[in-house]
Amino acid sequence: MSLRKGIADIEATIKVDDFSFQLNPPAKIDDIEAFEKKHSIQIPAIYREWLMFSDGGCLFDSKVQFYGVKQKPVIEIKSEWGLPDEYITIGAMNWGDPICFLRSEQKILMVSHEGGGNDEYKDFGAFLEYLVKLSSEK
């Protein structure tokens, strides 16, 4: 799924299901690039697009929170979740599973805090697709 399609699906969900969303103002590309340079990371392309749409915020009645580069909470370079150093935390599900990407990959991981397997998504667009599907099951 493209980011534009994911955003359109989320906007359609807002109108249909009356979910609560709290989105931060967009991040500026200069702020994203400064964050990447400061931390020696490359944010996945589709998540960079998301940050230019919303620099973090909560979706689906706070079932998911995304982190930003300027707005708090900010993307965690050193995980507070006790994850390996290659995991960069970009958010969390309200049941306690952090949302991450690996330093060297575009894929998104939802890491099980209970020790089960991690859920993997090919990119942030695929993860948004999962969230829209999850919201329709409420």
Q: Which residue has the tokens 């931060």?
A: 24
DSSP, residue by residue, 12-62:
HHHHHH----EEPPPPPHHHHHHHHHHHT----HHHHHHHHH-SSEEETTT
CATH number at residue 58: 3.40.1580.10
SS3 132: helix
- CA quadruple 46, 49, 53, 56: dihedral positive or negative? positive
Over residues 67-122, the pLDDT tens digits come to 999 999 999 998 777 888 899 999 999 888 999 999 888 899 999 877 777 899 99
Over residues 48-73, the pLDDT tens digits come to 999 998 999 888 776 899 999 999 99
How many domains does the structure of the chain reveal? 1
**Structural domain boundaries enclosing 101:** 3-136
Q: What is the Cα 14 distance to its own chain's centre?
A: 18
